Structure 1
Amino acid sequence: MKSFFEAIGTLFTDYLFLPFHMLRELELTNWWAANTLNWIFIIICCAAMVYWIKQLNIFKANNEDDQDTTAHSFFK
């Protein structure tokens, strides 16, 4: 049983965490290159938020947005 858990530990530390170790080493030489993935995720989240707010405004302009607090039974 001990070898099973050691195999899981080896799998994670030697193989699955390898990209994170590479990013950690890259950060010591170039911070911008190491954080490019974070900036991509931030841009995607900002674009999704802008789209969501536009959709909310469309529903509000068409009076399809129900602002009543009793719209759901658990708010009563």
Structure 2
Amino acid sequence: MCIAVPAQVIKVTENKALVNFGGVNIKVDTSLVDVLNIGDYILLHAGCAIEKLNKKEAQKTLELFEHILKDE
């Protein structure tokens, strides 16, 4: 099973972005996504941004992940 997770954009270059994913900053490919700005949220899968997310939805998903991890 594969999973994609929200990540927040910290820095943007041509088709790459530095994003914060669970407290870790990683570089991702953004070729599949239109214009990104610092502070935007993306859906991250296998090192690629596959979709730009609405901030509210991204935060809701992150809260769900946090809740799941606390229940383990």
**TM-score above 0.5, yes or no:** no
Higher strand content, 1 or 2:
2
TM range (shorter): under 0.3
Higher helix content, 1 or 2:
1
> TM-score, length-normalised on structure 2?
0.26
- Greater C-alpha radius of gyration: 1
